[in-house]
Chains A and B, each alone.
Chain A
């Protein structure tokens, strides 16, 4: 008895270094790839801060970064499911511009013509109609892919051409601007943000959810008699999670309104400005809140619902999924419907931020979204991919862009860097996976 025990100990210690990283990542409940990406992102931020003489790690830059990543992040969560089920959607940029045009015309012309401007409900109707339209387009693509069995690459390539053309025709190539005042808030900006109090409220809510989630998970495992993680790991995970949330909100609240806007606000509300101007914290931008909300929902859908399980099973072995009685065609069609709806939501965020719907909106968006998903660990072969990874991928790509802009790198060079990074990231990941196996 004692001999075998000591043998196990010895062999365990010799393997310590290799498995430690994976085990600590697993303990934290994170994919080790995800952990690696977070570390790489941190390193990138520090490097950019150094090379931009401290411009990168300012609350203004980080706040802008969060807003600029949100549209790609929203779409990337949907693209993960499409790619995991062994398909691709090249049409998302074109769906976005078409829906943006539609939403723009609806709020700038169609509704005002009948009901007048400045209605309080305009933005709701427009947003709902837009998302429904995106879902319908996705359903059309999904139907042709799943039931008519045309490869998704071809169907969505056709979509890429067709929907942008329709967008042009819809408004005769005009730019639709300005948009409804309430709709604009979806795009962020000082008014399109939560402000100090609400941001702290959201942070508290998020921390509560994290802690409650850990407790419920632990209780469920105990009920089934599984081995429990040591209490200290749960405490570490909880602390890290909450610190991250609180830290992010602190940064958002450190970004103040531009002095001109603060002055207007002070005058409007009869507040006397203190010396140095009124400092109004911006807080979490609405598009960022939307993106985080989408990510949470999509992660829940992918990991805790049958739909998500079926998407991954189809990606792993489509025949096995069929033989298990799964309605694979409908599941695939649904991934495209979700993608279409998310593209519409992204279109709302982009056009709101621009305060306009233009025919150029979303050009190249599909490639950014696919790149974000792939950098985040989604395999184009299907079956593998995580949604938080795709979000991180979007932030990585945007950080790279922002950092290079702050370093005054010319646009052409920026493209080269992004292209090289994309290939390197995937190659690196693929080599690591092969070595691990």
Chain B
């Protein structure tokens, strides 16, 4: 039999509906430590909604979440972060009018003994972590809306890795990036995998998915079509599942 290792994350029978529309219908996915699971599907497949349940941005109407085999309750983003879950959203979720350090520590600011913001301390930490990720990053004082797309991405990624996440969610991480920056993201993912971090990666780029994932979960109109090992399928088969859903699955 395969290993008895408990998965890092298990989402079982998750159900999310918005009014009368069922966005996620009885979906179960899992993630092991040091693994990348690609979550793919067409528009409206429910991938982002599913992942927002894990990151605490949305509450599921049914189903459970287990972390290291234990059932947990994630009712808001703070709960998720407390369990070591960090997310990099498609929109990056940066506060445009504040600088890189402020965004890095948003919601988790460092304070001095008097309870006031330790801006210098946060800037120092920001320089350290961003310096590792992106040595060319220099604009620590400008509000982030003045930064380029790649630099903003660096800030969003830095925010996710800064707080020792065990589970990382990346929603379309390379969608807005050029080839050089995409390569950087790929390197980062490899590095994080080696450190034992589990990554859920949503992507519509089938090549990225195949390059980086170990397993692929395909969703179609709110349902899970199948979860396959990357080595067992071809890109065309996965594309077929994305487009045609359950009718294409060959067991």
Interface residues of A (CB under 8 A from B): 220-221, 223-226, 300, 303-306, 309, 312-313, 315-317, 319-326, 383-384, 437
Contacts and interface: CB of A to CB of B under 8 A. Distances in A.
B123 A313 contact: no
Contacts of A317: 93-96
Interface-central residue, A300, A303, A304, by most chain B CB under 10 Å: A304
Interface of B: 55-57, 76-78, 81, 87, 89, 91, 93-98, 102-103, 106-109, 111, 115-117, 119-121, 123-124, 143, 146
Contact of A322 (B57, B91, B94): B57
Q: Is the interface of A mostly helix, strand, loop or mixed?
A: helix
B98 A319 contact: no
B115 A309 contact: no
Nearest to A222: B120
A300 B103 CA distance: 20
Contact of A221 (B95, B109, B111, B120): B120
Nearest to B121: A224
Given A224-B120, A224-B124, A306-B109, A323 B87 contact: yes
Contact of A304 (B94, B102, B103, B116): B116
Contact of A325 (B94, B97, B102, B107): B107
A300 B143 CA distance: 20
B95 A320 contact: yes
B102 A313 contact: yes
Nearest to A300: B116
Contact of A324 (B97, B106, B117, B123): B106
Given A306-B109, A316-B98, A325 B93 contact: no
A383 B97 contact: yes
A321 B95 contact: yes
Given A225-B124, A309-B102, A312-B95, 19 more contacts: A220-B120, A304-B116, A305-B115, A305-B117, A309-B117, A312-B98, A315-B97, A316-B96, A316-B98, A316-B143, A317-B94, A317-B95, A319-B91, A320-B94, A321-B107, A322-B77, A323-B77, A323-B93, A325-B56
A224 B123 contact: yes
Contacts, number: 81
Nearest to A315: B97
27 contacts: A220-B120, A224-B120, A224-B123, A226-B120, A304-B116, A305-B115, A305-B117, A306-B111, A309-B102, A309-B117, A312-B97, A313-B95, A316-B96, A320-B93, A320-B94, A321-B95, A322-B57, A323-B57, A323-B77, A323-B89, A324-B106, A324-B108, A325-B77, A325-B81, A325-B107, A326-B106, A383-B97
Given A223-B120, A305-B117, A313 B109 contact: no
Contacts of B103: 320
Contacts of B146: 437
B200 to A, nearest CB: 16
Contacts of B119: 304
Contacts of A309: 98, 102, 106, 109, 117
B137 to A, nearest CB: 16
A77 B120 CA distance: 25
B162 to A, nearest CB: 13
Contacts of B117: 303-306, 309
B160 to A, nearest CB: 12
Nearest to B102: A309
A46 to B, nearest CB: 34
Nearest to B87: A323
Contacts of B124: 224-226
A384 B87 CA distance: 27
A384 B143 CA distance: 11
A383 B106 CA distance: 15
Interface centre among A220, A224, A437 (most CB of B within 10 A): A224
Nearest to B118: A220
A142 B89 CA distance: 30
A224 B101 CA distance: 14
A77 B123 CA distance: 27
A383 B96 CA distance: 8
